[in-house]
Amino acid sequence: MITDEILDKYIMTIGIECHVQLSTLTKLFSGADNDARDKSPNSVVSPIDFGLPGMLPVLNRQAVNLAIKAGKALGSEIARVSRFDRKHYFYPDLPKGYQTTQMYQPIIGAGLVNVPREDGSSFDVRIHHAHMEEDAGKLTHFGDYSLVDLNRAGTPLIEIVSEPDIHSASDAKGFATELYRLMTYAGVTNGDLYHGNMRFDVNVSVAPKGATELGLRAEVKNLNSFRSVERAADFEFRRQVERLEKGERIVQETRGWIEAKQKTISQRSKEDAQDYRYMPDADIPPIILTTEEIDEIQATLPRLPAFYRQEWKVMELDSTVVNALLSTKSQSELVQSVLETGGVSAARRTALWILMVLPRDIDQVVRATGNDLSISEESFIELAAMVDGNELSSTAAKEIFFEMQRSNSSPRVIAEEKNLLQVSDEGTIVAFVDEVLSDPASTKAIEDIKNGDDKVIGFLVGQVMKKSRGTANPKLAQKLIRERIV
Amino acid sequence: MTLIADYIGRSARDNVLSAIAKAQDNEQYHALLSLTKERALERADAVDRGDITGKLAGVPFVVKDNFLAFGAPTTAASKMLEHFNAPLQSTAVEKLEAEGAICIGKANLDAFAHGGSTENSAYGPTKNAFDQTRVAGGSSGGSAVVTALDIVPFALGSDTGGSIRLPASFNGVVGVKPTYGTVSRYGVVAMASSTDVIGVFTTNVADAEQVMDIIAGTDPKDMTTLANFFIPKRTIESGKKIGLVKEFMTDDVDPEVRRRTLEYAQRLRDNGHIVEEVTLPIAAHTLAMYYIIVPAEVSSNLARYDGIRYGYRADGVMTLAELYGRTRDEGFVTENKRRIMIGSYVLSSGYFDAYYLQAQKARTLLITEFNTLFKDYDVLLGPVAPMPAFKLGENTSDPIKMYLADIMTVPASLAGLPAMSIPAGANSAGLPIGVQLIGQKRSDADLLALARSLEEM
């Protein structure tokens, strides 16, 4: 039994490799449609992707531009000269018998990512480099045969390789999540995790605390959610500690994550590792970039999470709220826009309303289709103003918020239709107050208040709100009740 | 010998039918793997109707069977691609067709262009146009022989380490290997991406200039093509400085080959040029570089032939490993497998630096030596091959001896330089001998103009 006490004697070290599919119109080296979602198998495959004899790659300039953007989002230097190489292995989903990648001179150099934690603190992860490469196709296995779909073959990827700077499963999840935010905010990927737009390989090694050398690592490949990154890292930590505690050695190997069983299993040991026979790809001239070209692309880089974190400090939101809001780019843009045009209070209220409908688990948000809020910035600002101006109770505002999502009407129209506008007219409220106070059910409460139990007044205000169907201004109702009892 | 001009203005149908008849009369040479008669006649009729026009309207030609072209399978002379019908055509063929030229057939080669004699064809060797007991040279043997036999006025070939120049010299025709990147490689079965070039066989230099003018140029489908630079030159000024490469004239070279080369040098002098002996010391190492770099690229470029998507697939396999192993064992010829093994070896971890990287460094030195020579000389001269065509079967059991035939052609390939083989007479047995001119990058038009000026003499 591995107790927390035992775990505490060890330190886990994690490095992450992340494949990001770039959202180009066409593939990395061909003119085939790069959007393979919902396409029938082998329907977006050009002769180049198919590996026909005599076909030559033509580098997609848009992919290079997106890679530069991604690199800038990672805080990396962009190489003035980068090249493509061939990585050889035989597999039916690899049409040319090699993957075109960047082994020796990648386009994206060393960088740094600052990752926020839920508690408001943050940590740094260094980026070793990131390189461009093409994706492989997909095999589907049936009993005694397998089918090949090359729709994905040739999709442009960047592979981001981190330094082993992470030491907990939750930080691994945090880093993966921040990479997701950076790549989607930079606009380089569609970020559809369900369709494999981003995939994570987690390298985990364990050593006794204070040890000067890292332990041998196991690599868990192809994780496609933040939660599985965390779970797999945690599982590996416990598995490796258990082995070390038993005096066993850690084997350097590749492992797979079995989602249904929430465990990793061994797939391939280092001894079976392939010799990829890397060599320069003579069919593709080097990518040569000028400072001007790089600057020009950097100038088009959209706002990144760090920008919003800084801007939103005035809203004094809890860090978990900020992180949750940052889970999708469209939400952040909305809140920022409300902040810029409607002010702090409106933005703060908007943030909290959004959070009400936001699933707590970001994986779910990302997986859900159509997670974008359909409500316009103007409606949010108007709704917030109505609350601030005592026209709506916060309860009524929530109700309107949900209705706005459904109907797309303006908050005032909804409020009027549903009769939710707060009444601040004394005469109208007095009528409700008198009705409540004359109700025999209120007699006990009135006595208690007279005897000094002031808290009970809330009950009477509640009754007034009920009678007025939530439209009475509660502060005014309380004042009127107090005036009549005392 | 007929010239391209002789075909122009005649009935295209007659041109095609007579070329095909001539091809059939010469079947014993085994220069062609297929005829594209049906398609050729359709195109000929379209030319005769005036539906297809162009500078080469109605002129028949042949392509080496590693060019993707319609009308017959593109086999690369291998069992692997025996039934492979190309869904598209190579850029070079498209450009010729756009000018009205008509492909009548596909020429034999060493399987996947691996070889110097066309004996490595999975369909049997091509015989020399001057002596059927001798090799055609290779790997573009079929293209050279159809040109030499006057079946067509020109044929396309590819040259990776001498595959155009060597068979041109063995069969007494002009063979042009342009600067790397002059002609698009799109649609040509790749051998070694860093040295493969597309070129042409003709009976005379002017025809080569005309075909090169058509097929040269930037192709958006081949990122390694150079910006258009090839413009044929009417005249060449005298006083060119020509370096006769000492290392190509050693005692290992057949005396009659040396004699013809020296005669050609004298003709250059007679024509007002200056010929001096120069030295290219690294030449002795180029074959070693070549047989590391090229097999490395071959092992990579041939990885796609796996029996999964097209081409040959072994029968009755039980596992994926067996599918790959047996498909590639049965679909490739011995020389293909030899080069794949050498290439895989020199790229493997632990050997990459010692072999591949070292060879690439040496290649840089070779380029530097060439550049140094070109500071003082316009053109370099030497033989194409150390000997005239050898006997069929003479070298098949000794790959090293076979590779030695490439010793004077691989330097220009590794350096990406334009080079050509020019007929320079014959030996006492009547076997043709070719001389080689090598120029600086992009000097192709000068090289051809120089060769033409001597031809006209």
- The residues of B whose Cβ lies within 8 A of any Cβ of A are 66-68, 74, 76, 81, 84, 86-88, 90, 185-190, 192-194, 220-224, 296-297, 299-300, 302-306, 308-310, 320, 324, 344, 347-349, 352, 356
- The residues of A whose Cβ lies within 8 A of any Cβ of B are 47, 50-59, 86, 88, 90, 92, 95-98, 148, 275, 277-279, 281-285
Digit-coded pLDDT (tens) for A154-195 = 999 999 999 999 999 999 999 999 999 999 999 999 998 888
CA distance to partner chain A, nearest, from residue B319 (Å)? 10
Res. A322: pLDDT tops 60 = yes
DSSP 3-state percent helix, strand, coil across chain A (nearest 5) = 40, 20, 40
> Is B220 in Cβ contact with A282 (below 8 Å)?
no
Q: Which residues pair with B421 in a beta bridge?
A: B175, B436
Q: Name the pLDDT band for A113 (thresholds 50, 70, 90).
A: very high
Tokens of A246: 């038993």
Residue with tokens 């993957």: A99
> What's the pLDDT at A264?
94
Tokens of A25: 């119109």
Mean pLDDT of B330-353: 97
> What's the pLDDT at B414?
98
Active site residue B140: no
Res. B456: pLDDT tops 70 = no
CA distance to partner chain B, nearest, from residue A65 (Å)? 18
Res. A359: pLDDT tops 60 = no
Interface mutation target, options A30, A46, A56, chain B, most CBs of B under 10 Å? A56
DSSP A364-407: HHHHSTT-S----HHHHHHHHHHHHTTSS-HHHHHHHHHHHHHH
Cβ(A214)–Cβ(A225) under 8 Å? no
Q: Could you report the predicted ipTM of this complex, rounded to two decimals?
A: 0.97
Digit-coded pLDDT (tens) for A13-67 = 999 999 999 999 999 999 999 998 889 999 999 999 999 999 999 999 999 999 9
A chain contacts of residue B90, beta-carbon cutoff 8 Å = 54
In 3D space, the residue among A354, A387, A356 whose CA is nearest the CA of residue A372 turns out to be A354
End-to-end CA distance of chain A: 67
> What's the pLDDT at B170?
98
DSSP B229-298: -----S---S--EEEEEGGGSSTTS-HHHHHHHHHHHHHHHHTT-EEEEE--TTHHHHHHHHHHHHHHHH
Q: How many CB atoms lie within 10 A of CB B230?
A: 21
Q: Name the pLDDT band for A484 (thresholds 50, 70, 90).
A: confident
> What's the pLDDT at B302?
98
Q: Name the pLDDT band for A369 (thresholds 50, 70, 90).
A: very low
Mean of pLDDT over chain A: 91
> Is B300 in Cβ contact with A97 (below 8 Å)?
yes
Mean pLDDT of A265-284: 89
Full-model pTM: 0.91
Q: How far apart are CA A211 and CA A11, in angstroms?
A: 9
Q: Name the pLDDT band for A368 (thresholds 50, 70, 90).
A: very low
Across the A:B interface, residue pairs with CB atoms under 8 Å apart total 99
Mean pLDDT of A431-449: 88
Q: How far apart are CA A468 and CA A17, in angstroms?
A: 59
Q: How far apart are CA A358 and CA A346, in angstroms?
A: 18
Cβ(A32)–Cβ(A45) under 8 Å? yes
Res. B354: pLDDT tops 60 = yes
Active site residue B143: no
> Is A278 in Cβ contact with B352 (below 8 Å)?
yes
Question: Which amino acid type is present at position A365?
Answer: V
Interface mutation target, options B294, B301, B344, chain A, most CBs of A under 10 Å? B301
> Is B356 in Cβ contact with A279 (below 8 Å)?
yes
Mean pLDDT of B138-154: 98
> What's the pLDDT at A330?
84
Residue A96 has its nearest CB partner, among B220, B297, B303, at B303
Domains in chain A, CATH or no CATH each? 4-293 (no CATH), 305-417 (no CATH), 426-485 (1.10.10.410)
